[in-house]
Amino acid sequence: MALNTPKFGSITTRRLTSVVDAAALLRDGGIVAFPTETVYGLGVDARNPEAIERLFLAKGRPSDNPLIVHVASIDDWRLAARTLTDTASALLTAFAPGPLTVVLPKHPSISHRVTAGLDTVGLRIPASREAHELLREAQIPIAAPSANRSGRPSCTTWQSVMEDLDGRIDAVLEGEPCTVGLESTVVDCCGPVPILLRPGFVSLADLQAVVPSTVAISRDQLHALASPGLRHPHYQPNARVHLVDHPAECNVTAGTAGEFPVAYAGLIPHPYAARLALHASFENIEAYAMNLYEFLRRADRLRVRDIYLQQVADTGLGQALSDRQRRSAGIIKP
């Protein structure tokens, strides 16, 4: 028998505009969604096991998937980590605040529930003004996964957060849409050689420019190594996602009357754009990355059956975008 299970739907999710109110609620053990430059995060006090428990339930997150801990500045690393390795220090100096997470030996005050039993912790210093002010005001380490129901595309607007989590969390901070649009680059900095676990806006080449020995995780390591989140399904809309190299590959033909119940997004516009249920063409990879998740969510709102995503070159930010595209299509292994 399930005892003490929170009754979701009975919680009133407050819409906040003040970071001071949001910080106070976090210090009181609340679950508060807030904007970062990457995606919205679902924050709780990283030292409060009860709040963390509620967070996992609210999100429907597998309990073997560790959370990233957020602090206001590099100087605050001791709130989350036991030691700052040389490689982490070099990478944070180059890219923090920003869309980078470094994995380090964890500080004893961080709950094992946050790290899913691991002795390491993901540490991130977000760059967006709202996230920075919130963390500075709260003065506590904030554990925050992406603010979406587990398995769904991440949220880059507060309205999408409400779509997934209204009635399940205490509050959402109504901030700006996210500018990066894909989750942070995650790099394991515990050993002598940094290992890129999850590609993001900070690319492998960017990391290697600072620490040349940095390597990308191999397929074998992916299954052996301790980043369980990489093994779970992610970023999946209800519609079926197909990856194409060119719009001509979409199952849409000229001369068919009426609207096609499909969505298409890519760098090259679709020739029958006006007749598709949803169409988006982007000027560059940055704009594609920034808008991908909202596009997938919009397609679901329109109840389209098939989503076609044009693939991009697997370099720079394209590496992160390709990774998310493949995962949204249900291809787990990169």
Closest CB 145 distance from Mg ion, rounded Å: 5
Q: Which is nearer to ligand TXA, 98 or 247 (CB)?
A: 98
Paired tokens of 283: 């000027």
Q: Pick from 11, 26, 44, 65 the residue near ligand TXA by CB under 6 A.
A: 65
CA-CA-CA-CA torsion sign (47, 49, 51, 56): positive
What are the contacts of 4-8 at 24+ separation with CB within 8 A? 5/57, 6/54, 6/57, 6/58, 8/57, 8/58, 8/167, 8/168
- Indicate if the alpha-carbon torsion angle 158, 162, 165, 169 is positive or negative: positive
3-state helix, strand, coil in the chain (%, to 5): 30, 20, 50
Count CA within 13 A, CB hemisphere, residue 327: 23
Q: Mind giving me the DSSP string for 264-290?
A: EEESSPPTTGGGEEEEEE-SSHHHHHH
What is the rounded CA–CA span in Å between residue 246 and residue 21?
48
Q: By CB under 6 A, is residue 122 in contact with ligand TXA?
A: yes
Residue 296 touches ligand TXA, criterion: CB under 6 A: no
CB of 301 to ligand TXA, least distance (A): 22
How many residues bind Mg ion, per CB under 5 A? Answer: 1
**Which residues, numbered 71-110, are part of the site for ligand TXA (CB under 6 A)?**
101, 103
The distance of closest approach from Cβ of residue 10 to Mg ion in the complex, given in angstroms and rounded to an integer, is: 25
Residue 38 within binding range of ligand TXA, rule CB under 6 A: yes
122 binds, among ligand TXA, Mg ion, none (CB under 5 to 8 A by kind): ligand TXA
By CB under 5 A, is residue 146 in contact with Mg ion?
Answer: yes
Told to check if 113 binds ligand TXA by CB under 6 A, we report no
36 versus 146: smaller Cβ distance to Mg ion: 146
Within 180-199, which residues bind ligand TXA (CB under 6 A)?
Answer: 183-184, 186, 197-198
Please state, as a whole number, how many other Cβ atoms lie within 10 Å of the Cβ of residue 308.
Answer: 22
The residue with its CB nearest to Mg ion is: 146
Number of Cβ within 10 Å of residue 261's Cβ equals 14
Based on CB atoms, which residue is closest to ligand TXA, 125 or 265? 125
Please give the sequence-ordered ranges of beta strands (E in DSSP) within 189-253, or none if there are none.
195-198, 215-216, 240-244
| Residues in 241-300 at the binding interface with Mg ion, rule: CB under 5 A | none
**Quick one: 232 or 275, whose CB is closer to ligand TXA?**
232
From the list ligand TXA, Mg ion, none, pick the one residue 67 interacts with, judged by a Cβ distance below 5 to 8 Å according to partner type. ligand TXA
Q: Are 104 and 84 in contact (CB under 8 A)?
A: yes
Q: Which region, left, alpha or beta, applies to residue 194 given φ > 0 means left and ψ of -120 to 50 means alpha?
A: beta
Residue 322 binds to ligand TXA (criterion: CB under 6 A): no
Residues 124-163 that bind ligand TXA (CB under 6 A): 124, 126, 144-146
Closest contact distance (angstroms) between CB of 45 and Mg ion is: 19
Gap between the Cα atoms of 21 and 259, Å rounded: 46
- What CA–CA distance (Å, rounded) separates 254 from 265? 18
Residues forming contacts to ligand TXA in the complex (CB under 6 A) are: 36, 38-39, 41, 65-68, 101, 103, 115, 118, 120-122, 124, 126, 144-146, 183-184, 186, 197-198, 226-230
Residues forming contacts to Mg ion in the complex (CB under 5 A) are: 146
